[in-house]
A and B are shown apart, each in its own frame.
Chain A
Amino acid sequence: MRLPVKKTYKLYVGGAFPRSESGRSYEAEGANVARASRKDIRDAVRAAREAFPKWASMTAYNRGQVLYRVAEIMEGRRAQFVELTGDEAEVDAAIDSWVWYAGWADKLTQVLGSSNPVAGPYFNFTFPEPTGVVGVVAPEEPALAGLVAHLAPVIVGGNAVVIVASQKRPLAAVTLSEVLATSDVPGGVVNVLTGKKDELAPVLAAHMDVNALDLSGAEGEWEELERLAADNVKRVVANGDGQSPWHVAAFLELKTVWHPIGV
Chain B
Amino acid sequence: MTEIEKRQDRSPVPSAFDYAPAPESRDVVALEDRYGLFIGGEWVEPKSGDYQPTISPATEESLAEVAYGGPEDVGLAVESAREAFENGWSDIAPSERAKYLYRIARILQERSREFAVLESLDGGKPIRESRDVDLPLSAAHFFYYAGWADKLEYAFPNRKPKPLGVAGQIIPWNFPLLMLSWKIAPALAAGNTVVLKPAESTPLTALLFCDVVRQAELPPGVVNIVTGDGRAGAELVKDSRVDKVAFTGSTEVGKEIQRAVAGTGKKLTLELGGKAANIIFDDAPLDQAVEGIINGIYFNQGHVCCAGSRLLVQESIYEQVIAKLKRRMGTLRVGDPLDKNTDIGAINSKQQLEKIKELVAAGEEEGAEIFQPPCRLPEKGWWFAPTVFTNVAQSYRIAQEEIFGPVLSVLTFRTPDEAVEKANNTPYGLSAGVWTEKGSRILSMSQRLRAGVIWANTYNRFDPASPFGGYKESGFGREGGRHGLEPYLRFE
Contact = CB atoms under 8 A, between A and B. Distances in A.
B483 A114 contact: yes
A118 B456 contact: no
Q: Is the interface of B mostly helix, strand, loop or mixed?
A: mixed
B453 A233 contact: no
Report, as a range, how many residues of chain A touch the other chain.
Answer: 35 or more
Contact of B446 (A226, A241, A246, A255): A255
B265 A238 contact: yes
A246 B491 contact: yes
A4 interface: no
A122 B466 CA distance: 11
B452 A254 contact: yes
B476 interface: yes
A256 interface: yes
Interface string A236-249: 00100100001000
Nearest to A233: B473
Interface string A36-60: 0000000000000000000001000
B481 A122 contact: no
A257 B456 contact: yes
Given A126-B483, A257-B454, A230 B465 contact: no
Contacts of B467: 114, 116, 126, 254, 256
A230 B258 contact: yes
Given A223-B263, A232-B427, A260 B458 contact: yes
A259 interface: yes
B258 A229 contact: yes
A231 B252 CA distance: 9
A225 B442 CA distance: 39
A216 interface: no
B468 interface: yes
Contact of B481 (A116, A119, A227, A258): A116
Q: Is the interface of A mostly helix, strand, loop or mixed?
A: mixed
A100 interface: no
B20 interface: no
Contacts of A57: 447
Given A118-B461, A120-B463, A233 B251 contact: yes
B410 to A, nearest CB: 23
A230 B262 contact: yes
Interface residues of B, number: 44
Contacts of B254: 233
A30 interface: no
A112 to B, nearest CB: 8
Contacts of B465: 116-119, 124
Contacts, number: 111
B259 A233 contact: no
Contact of A232 (B256, B446, B473, B481): B473
B426 to A, nearest CB: 12
Most B CB contacts (10 A, CB to CB) among A117, A227, A233 go to: A233
Nearest to A253: B471
A235 B452 CA distance: 14
A246 B469 CA distance: 18
Contacts of A222: 262-263
A237 to B, nearest CB: 11
A145 to B, nearest CB: 23
Given A124-B463, A126-B483, A256-B452, A235 B476 contact: yes
Nearest to B262: A226
A241 B261 CA distance: 20
A258 B466 contact: yes
Interface in A95-120: 114, 116-120
Nearest to B159: A246
A259 B461 CA distance: 10
B476 A233 contact: yes
A131 interface: yes
Interface in B254-280: 254-256, 258-259, 261-263, 265, 270, 272
B321 interface: no
A225 B469 CA distance: 24
A256 B262 contact: no
B140 interface: yes
Contacts of B461: 118, 120, 122, 258
A58 to B, nearest CB: 12
Contacts of A254: 452, 467, 469, 478, 483
Nearest to B428: A233
A224 B259 CA distance: 9
Contacts of B463: 116, 118-120, 122, 124
A64 to B, nearest CB: 19
A194 interface: no
Contacts of B491: 241, 246
Contacts of B261: 226
A56 to B, nearest CB: 9
A166 interface: no
A20 interface: no
B372 interface: no
Nearest to A220: B263
Contacts of A126: 466-467, 481, 483
A231 B255 contact: yes
Interface string B422-450: 00000100000000000000100011000
B481 to A, nearest CB: 6
B379 to A, nearest CB: 39
Nearest to B257: A230
Contact of B452 (A116, A124, A211, A253): A253
Nearest to A238: B265
B117 to A, nearest CB: 24
A233 B263 contact: no
22 contacts: A57-B447, A118-B461, A122-B461, A124-B466, A226-B258, A226-B259, A226-B262, A226-B263, A227-B259, A233-B254, A238-B265, A246-B159, A246-B491, A255-B446, A255-B453, A256-B454, A256-B468, A258-B456, A258-B461, A258-B466, A259-B456, A259-B457
Closest 3 CB pairs of A and B: A223-B263, A226-B262, A230-B258
Given A124-B465, A235-B476, 18 more contacts: A116-B465, A116-B467, A116-B481, A119-B465, A120-B461, A124-B466, A131-B471, A222-B263, A230-B255, A231-B255, A232-B427, A254-B469, A256-B452, A256-B454, A258-B466, A259-B457, A259-B458, A260-B458
